[in-house]
Chain A
Amino acid sequence: MWRVLSGSFALPTPDVMLGIGLALVCAAVPLATPSAYALSFLFTVFMYGALAGSWNIIGGYAGYLSFGHAAFFGLGAYTTALLLFYFGWSPFLTLPLAGAVAALFAALVGYPCLRLRGPYFSLVTLILGLAMYSLALNLPFTQGSTGLFLPFLKVDVYTSHIIFYEIMLALLVIVTAVLRQITHTKMGVGLAAIREDEDAAGTLGVDATRLKLQAFMLSAFLTGLVGGVYSYYKSYLDPSFVFATSISITIVLMALFGGRLTWYGPLVGAVTLSVVNEVLTTQAPPQTARIVFGALLIGVIMFLPDGLMSIAQRLLPTLVMRRAQHPAARDETAL
């Protein structure tokens, strides 16, 4: 009995402590009364961190690169927005529904689509994203391209910025915790086995169909939550943004850039690229920013197929890095 207790109260590993410390520092940032601009920028960073992290469950761990995650993001966004718009239900209460709708959709499309492998899966998800955009544009109750105007929170603008900041931070922490936890479970090992060789994994007793579907649904659920918060934050919603292919691509790029085999890779990628994007869009037209993004995508694939973190792992073989490595990740130092 004592043994079990002491085991469960053991000190967390260094990477967990580092993560908790960082989260606490971020949570305390509003105490220093930063500008509304800084808060909204950090909100975007957290949002993309959470999105890239959610994507990584299916795209990174299982190796099924989804190019249509904007569909889940948009579904989540529209779920809370429509409930607020038509029934006046607060998105903070209906948020789980946003995740559930996205997960349900993922279950429906995932069952047939996950049978496709490699580029075929990426292709079908890309088309699904485009189809959802067309659908949202043409359905009568979404008000198409006119969009939906949502009521603001009943507090002043700065306070509402802080509230959304903390909520998105909490979502990011949840996603990151889930992402890390998966690597320590049977599911994580199973997904890694599927990524490396799906047929061989099947012969070893990995129920690939079920695991992939679970991973896809979990990924969609978390993405839907983020979307559900986003629509309330923006208080205006139209299909051309929340269902945009560019969101899907940005998510993929961030995860690939940071390194999709680790739990912290997508986060690192999201932070780095959000900063790059912010600097570029404030200095140059949006097209230039996207050209740089596209070029980065090309560069990563050509020179760093395992992402930014593969360099870090080679250069910093510290305790933190070793502990944090995905158990089934390839030995990067051997390359």
Chain B
Amino acid sequence: MLYELAQSLTSGLLIGSALAVLSVGFSMAWGITHVLNVAHCAFAVLAAYLGYWSLSLWGIDPLLALPAMLPLFFALGVAMHRLLIRTAARRAHDLGLATMVLTFGLGVVMENGMQLAWTPDPRVLKTAYSSLTFSVGPLIVQAPHLVAFGLATLTIGALYLFAERTFAGKAVRAVWQQPMGAALSGINLDRVTTIAYGLAVATSAVGGVAMSLLYTFDPATHLNWLVYVFLVVILGGVGSILGSALAGLIIGLIIGASSVFVPLAWNNLVLFGLLIVLLLLRPQGLLQR
């Protein structure tokens, strides 16, 4: 029992890192523009499919395809902000709700577009290292989990350095903290938000590839992933990069623990219940100061 728990917690922690990288962009976009991009995980599933096809059609590993995907997804994020969000924001009475419905529509379009293109069948990514395992002491670690962890650490680390060290990153943080003040100090709000959107969608591509290493996926999976993302973001606090990272790991541990104590079919219910309780008690986030 104890061994089983330790094993589950280890893989839970690594899964949690994938959840963190899936969530960090969503959190950033929500924090900066108060827009809930409900289609965030639809982009992630799209990236998972692109990785899957690059492997099965051309034999290119998703990890190698990822650098090519990043600019594409950055552009998609920019386009989404320019074409959809800004127009809706000009007309809406209530930005949060209007954009939530808007991105919901986008998610529906993307999900069904992917179903048309690639059928609703679930896909399993079979990479060269899929069945590879390492043993750390008595525990067994699967290679895909480690790769996902590496991807997540790299991406979140890079994003953190961007936000802390670069001028553009500081501008993004300034807009998050105090949009009016940022505008008064000469920061171009529009430009900064566009960049933030591009980055958010680009990180969703990393998250999608990382998740596809761990789980089977189909076009409708994005709603399930979205539940994880909400959990992570609400726990970590909206807009916080390190908060997302920490919350992702915590959620991963909870998933690991619940897989030992709760029957598989009820796992989702545990998460739903947790999210509802969390939303009711502290909608502003547990880890937020």
Q: Which residues of A come within 8 Å of B, CB atoms?
A: 63, 65, 67, 112-113, 115-116, 118-120, 122-124, 127-128, 130-131, 134-135, 137-138, 245, 249, 252, 256, 285, 287-288, 290-291, 293-298, 301-303, 305
Which residues from B are CB-within-8-Å of A287?
112-113, 115-116
CA–CA, A302 and B265, complex, Å: 39
The reply to whether B88 and A302 contact each other, CB–CB distance below 8 Å, is: yes
A294 near B112 (CB under 8 angstroms)? Answer: yes
Q: In the assembled complex, which residues on chain A have CB atoms less than 8 Å from the CB atom of B109?
A: 291, 294-295, 298
Please, which residue of chain A has its CB at the minimum distance from the CB of B116?
A: A287
Q: Given A134-B268, A291-B108, are A297 and B276 neighbors across the interface (CB < 8 Å)? A: no
Interface of A is mostly: helix
Q: 4 more A-B contacts (CB under 8 A) besides A65-B101, A131-B268? A: A249-B108, A294-B106, A298-B105, A301-B88
Of B14-22, B59-67, B89-97, B135-143, the segment with at least 4 beta carbons within 8 Å of chain A is: B89-97
Chain A residues with Cβ under 8 A from B96's Cβ? Answer: 118-119
Contacts of A119 in B (CB 8 A): 36, 96-97, 100
A123 and B105 contact, CB distance less than 8 A: no
- B102, A302: Cβ atoms under 8 Å? yes
Q: Which residues of B are found within 8 Å of A128, using beta-carbon distances? A: 272, 276
CA of A285 to CA of B120, assembled, Å = 13
> Could you tell me if B92 and A127 are in contact, using CB atoms closer than 8 angstroms?
no
* Chain B: minimal CB distance from A251 (Å): 13
Nearest chain A residue, comparing its CB with the CB of B35: A119
Q: Please provide the chain B residues from 70 to 121 with a CB less than 8 Å away from any CB of chain A in the complex.
A: 84, 87-88, 91-94, 96-102, 104-109, 111-113, 115-116
Q: Which residues of B contact A291 (CB under 8 A)?
A: 108-109, 112-113, 116
Most B CB within 10 A of own CB, among A285, A294, A305: A294
29 interchain pairs, CB-CB under 8 A: A63-B94, A67-B104, A112-B280, A113-B280, A115-B280, A116-B280, A120-B279, A122-B97, A127-B227, A127-B279, A128-B272, A128-B276, A130-B223, A131-B268, A131-B272, A131-B273, A134-B269, A134-B272, A138-B269, A287-B115, A288-B112, A290-B111, A291-B108, A291-B113, A293-B105, A297-B104, A301-B99, A302-B88, A303-B91
Main secondary structure of the interface of B (DSSP, over half): helix
Report whether B283 and A65 are in contact in the complex, using a CB–CB cutoff of 8 Å.
no
Binding site for A on B (CB under 8 A): 36, 84, 87-88, 91-94, 96-102, 104-109, 111-113, 115-116, 223, 227, 230, 265-266, 268-269, 272-273, 275-276, 279-280, 283
Which 7 A-B pairs rank lowest in CB-CB distance, beginning with the nearest?
Answer: A297-B105, A294-B108, A294-B109, A131-B272, A298-B105, A287-B112, A290-B112
Bound-state Cα–Cα, A256 to B111, Å: 21
Q: Whose C-beta in chain B lies nearest to the C-beta of A137? A: B265
B109 closest partner in A (C-beta): A294
